[in-house]
Structure 1
Amino acid sequence: MRSLHLPTTLLDEKTLPELTELEYEIYKRQIPLPGFGSQGQRQLKGSSVMISRVGGVGGTVALELARAGVGRLVLAHEGVIELENLNRMLLAFRQDVGRPRVEAFRDMLARVNPEVDVLIEADNIHANNAERLIDQVDLIVDGSPSFEERYHMNQEAVRQRKPIIMAAMFGLEMYITTMIPGSTPCLSCLYPTPPPSWEVTGFPVILPSSALVATIATMEVIKVITGCGEPLINRLFYGDLTSNGFRQLHIARRRDCPICGHLVSANEGGAMA
């Protein structure tokens, strides 16, 4: 599969970091994956990913990417760990209640993989920090429950032409898609205005639901970075664990989208509605 997602400098053989003997030993079970190989592992090591909201979804993504060997993680999330977080946040422990989330999660990720560079932003994404944070990374994982925050990320990701994985869940329902500016719909194509039912406080969540969303999103990150497999390009993955029903919906760009409508499609598959 051709690489159409990340800057070519990242995928250049000459600029990728080499793997150590220790890393070859740690990752020897994933390196043989078809289409992955040592090249894919080096691409992971040379990549950087921002995760917005490091909760049940984002925290699990961070944990799985650290174990997979991604080189740098940028975590953005305000607030402290609360008791109600413990049912789903795999990086949160009872003794950490009251600690800033990103600080506790950085410490835990250092135990999981000390080779991963973890940068933290003890704040949610907003108009004043989106450009700075997205400028530091190759790809974004959007796990925010706030559409205002999602719109800030979407607008800046489109401006910088950075891929963004949308990972969302509500109760036992889940939604995931991979957005490539100029090739796929952006968030504003799909949701020109926030869904009325979205902005709620204390929405229902249980670990199997958030963890499954996170695992699919993590695999999307790995596929986009390495070119291994087919990402959810122009497709929205929907799942409902109530009945274990899963399906993929075809989605398309909107020509009149005020955020990405001006972009020229760089790759095949960038159909517009």
Structure 2
Amino acid sequence: MPDLAPAELQRYARHLAMPEFGLAAQKKLKAARVLCIGAGGLGSPISMYLAAAGVGTLGLVDPDVVEVSNLQRQLLFGQSDIGRPKLEAARDRLLDINPHLEVRMHREMFTAANAREIAADYDLLIDGTDNFPTRYLSNDTAVWLGKPNVYGSILRFEGQVAVFAPHLGAPCYRCMSPTPPKPGLVPSCAEGGVLGVLPGLVGTMQALEAIKLITGIGQPLLGKLLHVDALSLRFRTFTLRRDPDCPVCGENPTITEPIDYQGFCGMTPPPNVPTITVQELQDKRSRQEDHFLLDVREPDEYAAAQIEGSTLIPLAQITARAAEIPRDKPVLVHCRSGVRSAKAVAALQDLGYTQVWSVAGGILAWAKEIDPTLPAA
């Protein structure tokens, strides 16, 4: 167990003053190696509080750069960080919080190809992601490596926290959610929005669970799911049970290697869907070529930002409202990033439409390449 330098003894004085915590727990924190997957809304409070608490080694996984829309909730970053790689900005902020910290940066996506290699050298994983493929991958990786997985999720005004750890007798994430929800049923934070303070609340609780696991104090949320409704500030705790037939942690597991998580979660666009780039769309508009621009996002997304002249029909309503979509002109379909629009195109093709294309990259690409003033992120 590593010793604490005099400067560290002074820094952690409030921890050392607690008989239930003391020097032994503080040394465990210094020896701990924690991997935080995601440096966004949840990753910000997770990493800042673990750094301040004295975790010795903190790994961060995130390929993104800081965008202005991040600043409403991602307090790792400030205005001057816009355009910087998130991990570079995060490292500077975390070392300013605690210079005794070692920050390891993994500026890449957490994928089936690299998950085990990245996670192998850490004692526990913390899931700070906002998408189902990475959520299932982080769970499965933690199960295979025999490490706890501190889970958190947020959307709009609600959040969840749990600790998944079959090797400690608790269920894994797949025990609770064997299959992901159907595509489009649960929006991402970018699509559905999130109250800025909510990730601070949930991420701080994830950091707390990690500290309890590392130091052995208290009762971690093993076999428990904590749900919080921020509007009523109501907390509810649900009991979770291991599924003996779980394909990952059950008695006879059938999933022992990474799978196609994008496909498993229905996030892979259908094959052979014709596409059009945002520049090609803009050229058609500039030439005033006749077309029908169809937006298949949700009403809240459309209200926040839309391409002028588009018609909103959410993906789930495409088949029922097909009569509103013309067959005698090109139909150009867009969503946020291109996944839902590709599925809409496939559905329209099944209905006999022949002049229909998906706008590659969706409104995000339009905002980046054509109209930077559009608040589409």
**Contact map agreement 1:35 1:227 (CA 8 A) in 2:** no
Deviation at 1:109, TM superposition (A): 0.9
Residue 207 of structure 1 aligns to a residue in which SS? Answer: coil
Match of 1:149 in 2: 134
- Given candidates 229, 234, 252, the residue that maps to 2:223 is 234
Deviation digits for residues 59-106 of structure 1 (CA, Å, limit 9, x no counterpart): 110000000000001100111100000011111111110111111111
Q: CA deviation at 1:181?
A: 2.2
Aligned length: 249
- Paired residue for 1:79, among 64, 69, 74? 64
Rounded Cα–Cα distance in structure 2 between residues aligned with 1:226 and 1:34: 13
Q: 2:246 matched to 1:257?
A: yes
How many Å apart are 1:203 and its aligned residue? 3.0
Deviation of 1:154 (Å): 1.1
Alignment of 1:187 with 2:173, yes or no, is yes
- Aligned pairs for 1:112-131 within 5 A: 112-131=97-116
Residue 50 (1) aligns with residue 50 (2): no
Output the amino acid matched with 2:240: I
Contact 1:48 1:139 in 2 (8 A): yes
The amino acid across from 1:165 in the alignment is V
Q: Distance in 2 between matches of 1:259 and 1:85?
A: 34
Partner of 1:5: none
2:339 is matched with none
Residue 262 of structure 1 aligns to a residue whose secondary structure is coil
Question: 1:36, CA displacement in angstroms?
Answer: 1.2
The answer on 1:89 being equivalent to 2:74 is yes
Q: Post-superposition shift, 1:124?
A: 2.4
Distance in 2 (alpha carbons) for counterparts of 1:33 and 1:217: 21
Deviations 1:5-28 (A, max 9, x none): xxxxxxxxxxx1011111111101
Q: Aligned partner of 2:173: which letter?
A: L
Counterpart of 1:217 in structure 2 is 206
Equivalent position to 2:192, from 203, 207, 211: 203
Q: Secondary structure at the match of 1:155?
A: helix
CA contact (8 A) 1:53 1:124 kept: no
1:29 is paired with a residue of what secondary structure?
Answer: helix
1:152 Cα deviation (Å)? 1.2
Residue segments in structure 1 that go unaligned for 5+ positions in a row: 1-15, 264-273
Give the TM-score normalised by the residue count of structure 1: 0.88
CA distance in 2, matches of 1:155, 1:242: 33
Query: Structure 1 residue 199: deviation in Å?
Result: 4.7
| 52-61 or 31-40, which deviates more | 31-40
Is the partner of 2:13 in helix, strand or coil?
Answer: coil
Amino acid at match of 2:59: V
- Cross-structure match for 2:257: none
Give the share of equivalent positions with the same residue, in percent.
36
- Secondary structure in structure 1 of the residue aligned to 2:15: coil
Q: Which has the larger radius of gyration?
A: 2
Once residues 221 and 233 of structure 1 are traced to their aligned partners in structure 2, the CA distance between those partners, rounded to angstroms, is 12
Secondary structure of 2:222's counterpart equals: coil
Is the Cα–Cα contact under 8 Å of residues 52 and 124 in structure 1 kept in the other structure?
Answer: no
CA gap of 1:85–1:241, structure 2 versus 1, over 3 A, is: same
State whether residues 34 and 228 of structure 1, in contact with CA within 8 Å, keep that contact through their aligned partners in structure 2.
no
2:147 paired residue number: 162
Q: How far does residue 34 in structure 1 lie from its aligned partner after superposition? A: 4.2
Larger mean CA deviation between 252-261 and 203-212 belongs to 203-212
Identify the structure with the greater helix proportion: 2
Which deviates further from its counterpart, 189-198 or 39-48?
A: 189-198
Offset of residue 110 of structure 1: 1.3
Superposed CA offset, 1:98-131 (max 9, x none) = 1111111111111111110001111221101110
